Structure 1
Amino acid sequence: MARRITPSQFRSKMRQAQSKIRQAESKYKQAVNKLNQEIRTYNSKVRTHNARVRANRDRLRREIQKLQRNSSKTQYVTFRTSVSTVQRSYTTLESRAEAQAYDERFDRFLDLSEREAANSAAVMNVLDGETPEEQSESSLLESGIDDILKAISQDVFDRWHGALFALSPQNPDAARHFCTSARELLTEILEKFAADEEVKNALPDCELTQQGKPTRRAKIRFFFYRHGIADDTATSFVDDDMENVVQLFRVFNDGTHGSSGKFAHAQLMAIRARVEDAVSFLWSIITGSAFAAA
């Protein structure tokens, strides 16, 4: 026998049912709104990423065209060869990316690699007397890598800013002072975040120098390893990029720059930007920010 309910109980149950329907509709609308917001956010990121990629590629293309125009010049031969090595290394990296060898985690790494390839060509072009596309107006008392420097040590921060302070076209010793500090900075980063024994323990088959120490390439491979990445092409590009910066330091020591033995202001600023971006690139690999999914 069906249970009889009063009109008041019936109305109460109807209100409860209607309330549940309204709650369900509200949750559905919230879910739809959230999904639409995520889609809009994703599309925005895609548009931003694509615009950045186009800008990077356009800049790289222009710098390579200038490089080819000056390819017959005999000045800075060793550095010019290093720049060519970086371009070949990046072409190999790009080919693997186009073959879908990398997932979305590598998007930022590939963006930064393209910037590095353009930077290496840009410095060569500026040394050849070309007008730089991006004129740096940053203060000598500020640096785009200050946060990185402070994370390493206060001493590194102070020495770097001392080098920037001396970076003046009127200072005949500016290049040597700057290059010494930059070389020390790269060395200190590698030594602090890829200690020899730590690298050997993690990568027993790593490449060693004649002195039995892990090579720079091995330490770069170690940085990738810590983020669960093993990729020889990516490792090679980073190593070639760092070698290009080291070769840039040797340009300072050759004494072949300019008739007065000094670099012009635009050249000094381009060299500074090259080093700072390279340090930032290496740091993004050490910290893993280069592999963070968008």
Structure 2
Amino acid sequence: MIRQAQQKQRQAIDKINRELRAHSQRVNQAVRNYNQQVTAYNARVRANRDRLARELARLSRPTASSRQVTLRVSFNAVHRAYECLERAADAGQLDQKYSEILDLSEREAANSAGLVNAFEGDAEQTSGAAPDEPASPVTPFLEIISSELADRWRGALYSLSPRNPDAARHFCTSAREIIARILQTKAPDDAVAAATPDCDRTPQGTPTRRAKVRYLLRVRGLDQADLEAFVESDISNVVDLFEVFNTGTHGTAGAIKLTQLQALRKRVEDGIAFLSHLVQ
């Protein structure tokens, strides 16, 4: 009986030791995973910040065409909104839950500047995919909303070919419709009006796009004035591209270079990705 009791005691101790070792291994793995995520995040932040600085440095030259002026005006609105958002973050007004959206906001500002530089003949050289490459990171998100919306995006990418003289106009038309559809699906007029009866409204009486942005941020628990202003200016920057390219003739549209088409795709694609992060 004594030996049996001693054996059971040893077995219990061994079991406890095994559980402690397993727990220690899980903790160590969790710490390693966290450190890897922090390292990757910090690398992304540095990359975005460095790229934004490079793109801003390129914007020191004067503009020439009306298209370039329009693109710069739209970018300036994005950049001012980003600077306000960055000051709010530096002042400690945004806690940890805003970290990822701040990272993406910096990327959006850099993309907006990059597009201006591309159309002013000073694009940063990249090794990205062809503009009309059908594979896209935002397609799965659009599939969740509707297969029709994902098909529209695939069609937009297909149209963004250097061989298409109206590539930019076709692409931006589809992009504007896609963004409007996302906002209407994720922030329906009735839901926005019910949540905020006194929200800003269009002349037709429906909630404005900014009211929808405010609604989406509140749903995500990211209700902050500077972030709201940035998101609105960022969406406007993408949507304004339709107006920029809609007035172009076939000859003007056909003069768009491969690097410019790549910058255009990146601006719109990352803009949709940014919006998808807010609505998920």
Global fold match (TM > 0.5): yes
- Of 136, 146, 149, the residue aligned with 1:153 is 146
Does the aligned pair in 2 maintain the 1:169–1:264 contact within 8 Å? yes
Helix, strand or coil: the match of 2:94?
Answer: coil
Quick check: which has more Rg, 1 or 2?
1
Partner of 2:202: 209
2:112 and 2:267 in contact (8 A); partners too? yes
Shift of 1:144: 3.0
Cα contact 2:55–2:113 (8 A) shared by 1? yes
| 2:158 is equivalent to residue 165 of structure 1 | yes
Quote the Cα distance in structure 1 between the aligned partners of 2:174 and 2:251.
22
CA displacement at 1:220 relative to structure 2: 0.9
Secondary structure of the 1:255 match is coil
Q: For 1:255, which of 220, 244, 248 is the aligned residue? A: 248
Q: Is 1:223 the counterpart of 2:230 in the alignment?
A: no
SS in 1 for 2:133: coil
Q: Does 1:269 align with 2:259?
A: no
* Cα displacement (A) at 1:27: 2.4
C-alpha deviation, 1:268, in angstroms: 1.5
2:34 aligned with 1:42: yes
Further displaced range: 99-108 or 244-253: 99-108
Which of 81, 102, 113 is 2:105 aligned to? Answer: 113
Alpha-carbon displacement from aligned partner over 1:232-263 (angstroms, at most 9, x marks no partner): 11111111001111222222034389867531
Residue 160 of structure 2: SS of its match in structure 1? coil
Task: State how 1:1-294 maps to structure 2 within 5 Å.
Answer: 9-67=1-59, 69-70=60-61, 72-75=62-65, 76-138=68-130, 139-255=132-248, 262-287=255-280
Quick one: structure 1 residues 260 and 280, their matched pair in 2 at CA, closer, same or farther if it must change by over 3 Å? closer
Distance 1:25 1:156 in 2: 55
The whole-number CA distance in structure 2 between the counterparts of 1:272 and 1:196 is 29
TM-score after normalising by structure 2? 0.90
Aligned-residue sequence identity (percent) comes to 44
C-alpha contact (below 8 Å) 2:115/2:260 kept by paired residues? yes
In the superposition, the TM-score normalised over structure 1's length comes to 0.86
Q: Which runs of 5+ in 1 are unaligned?
A: 1-8, 288-294
Check 1:23–1:151 CA distance in 2 against 1; reply closer, same or farther (3 A cut).
Answer: closer
> What's the CA shift string for 1:52-101, capped at 9, x where partnerless?
1111111111111112x22x214322321121111121122122222333
Residues 162 and 44 of structure 1: is their aligned pair in 2 closer, same or farther, counting only changes over 3 Å? closer
**CA distance, structure 2, for counterparts of residue 192 and residue 112 of structure 1:** 22
- Distance in 2 between residues matched to 1:49 and 1:127, nearest whole Å: 30
Q: Deviations over 1:248-285 (max 9, x none)?
A: 22220343898675311211221122111111110111
Distance in structure 1 (CA, Å) of the matches to 2:36 and 2:250 = 45
Output the CA distance in 2 between the equivalents of 1:23 and 1:264.
68
Contact kept in structure 2, 1:168 and 1:174, CA below 8 Å: yes
Whether the aligned pair in 2 keeps the contact of 1:257 and 1:263 (CA below 8 Å) is no
Correspondence for 1:3: none
How many correspondences in the alignment?
277
Report if the CA contact (8 A) 2:187-2:215 is conserved. Answer: yes
206-215 vs 51-60, greater mean Cα deviation:
206-215
Asked whether the 8 Å contact 2:167–2:253 carries over to 1, the reply is: no
